[in-house]
Amino acid sequence: MRKLTVFNSVSLDGYFVDAKGGMNWAHGREDEEWKAFVAGNASGAGVLLFGRVTYQMMAGFWPTPQGMEHFPDVARRMNSAAKVVFSRTLREASWNNTTLVTGDLAQEVRRMKGEGGPDMVILGSGSIVSQLAGEGLVDEFQVVVVPVALGGGRTMFEGIGATALRRTSARVFGNGNVLLCYAPAK
C-alpha cells in the first residue's frame, strides 16, 4: 500500500498560511544545511498531491526562470515529478506531469493508496490535509516549525477535532527551523 505524507511549514503559533493566505514567511531563514535538506527531501517526494490554491501557486513559480535560478535542484524535481491536483473548479492543469482529479477527494486518495507505485506527499494544501486527516488517510505528518509568530492565519487541521498523533522523529536545524514527524496514534 502506498504511503501518504504531509509536508508543511507552520509558524511557531501553529499557522501554515498567514491571515492573507501567504507563505513567504516560511522561506526567510535559509542556510546551507537547510538548502541541502530541502533538496534531498524533494528528491524522494514521490507523487505530489495538491489542492487547487497550492497547485496554482506552485505552478506559477517552479517552472519559471526565477524558480530555476534560485532553487535549481528543487525546481527540477518539482517540474518533473508526477503531480495530482484535486479541484472541482479547474478545467485544466497544464503544469508538466499533472493529472486533474475532480471526483470525491477521500475516495480518490483511498483508491490511489491501494494502487502500486511511489508514495505520495501533500505540500501545502491545508483544505485537503484537514479532509484527509479527518478520514484517517494520512500516514505521516512532517511539520517544519519556523521560528516566526504570525498572530493569525489558518491551521492545517481546521475542522477535524482532536486527533492523537505520536512523534516518530525530530531534527533541529541551525537556522532555527525544527522538523517534527508524527504518525497517527493507532
Q: Which residue has the higher pLDDT, 167 or 39?
A: 167
Q: What contacts 145, CB < 8 A, 6 or more positions away? A: 9, 10, 11, 12, 177, 178, 179, 180
| pLDDT computed for residue 40 by the predictor | 75
pLDDT in tens, 44-57: 668 999 999 999 99
Q: Which of 14-28, 32-46, 57-71 has the lowest mean pLDDT?
A: 32-46
- Arithmetic mean of pLDDT, 132-143: 94
Cell triple for 181 = 514527524
| CATH T-level assignment (fold) for domain 4-184 | Dihydrofolate Reductase, subunit A (3.40.430)
Enter the pTM of the model: 0.90
| pLDDT computed for residue 46 by the predictor | 86
DSSP string, the chain: ---EEEEEEEETTS-SB-TTS--GGGGS---HHHHHHHHHHHHT--EEEEEHHHHHHHHTTTTSHHHHHH-HHHHHHHHHS-EEEE-SS-S---STTEEEE-S-HHHHHHHHHHSSS--EEEES-HHHHHHHHHTT---EEEEEEES---SS-B-TTTT-----EEEEEEEE-TTS-EEEEEEE--
